[in-house]
Amino acid sequence: MDSLTLPGGGRGELVRRPPSAPTDKPRAQAGPGVVQAVALSAVPGPPPPGLSTAKVVAYLHGPEPYLLIPDPAPSMRRNLTRWLQGRAAVVGPVVSRSDAGASLRWARTLLSLSPQWPDGAGELLFVEDHLAEVLLLQDPLLAGRLSAKWLGRLNDLTPRQRERMEQTLLAWLEGGGATEAAVLLRIHPQTVRYRLRKLERIFGSSLRTSQARFEILLALKIHGTAAECARLRRRAEELPPHRTFGPRQDVRRSR
């Protein structure tokens, strides 16, 4: 019985299923020698028939259970959604077998950012749909350092003042000018220019360099993403301890 070498040198249990009924159409695969990792918050139930022909490497006994799916078929996303819907789980991208650890690491990063609902319930997410979030917060210490480097300059403001300044700065960087920022914020352009003059006093000549503007934009994105994740986690913690979701219920993230 063959198996995959798992990240960290461990071995998972190889789950073999009986073959499905014959079909006239050959099964298309994502490519030779590829694998897809799935980070789990809890051990899943039996897989649906759509996974009956797949060899699933399942490591379910540790504190961070996961699956590795060799050579996933194009229908794998649909099958995984059917299997894991209603559970907190993250599906990593399809990668070469030698990069299985990376797919699992990215999946675990996104899982750590997601709200932890009671009893392992939650939302099934796919890394491919959240690449920017995973990239920004893959290294929390480094992300926090970048955020503190630039946004720490706003610490002397009141919370309301800081929120307005961060919103204005983000709209200005994304829009490309005061007029565009005013449209995004739905306020008068003169208000934006007034705030920008204050921001220029705080940040100095940094706002005139492309490198600094790029880093500030990243810092604002990191701060916004982290704040939203924290808000969702608090919301999950406030739920009754025995709240669960059915396997078909669609648990959506608030935007």
Distance of alpha carbon 224 from alpha carbon 212, whole angstroms: 18
Indicate the pTM of the whole model: 0.71
Residue range 114-149, pLDDT digits in tens: 876 666 678 899 999 999 999 988 898 999 999 999
Per cent of the chain over pLDDT 90 is 51
Distance of alpha carbon 123 from alpha carbon 113, whole angstroms: 12
Read off the amino acid at residue 46. P
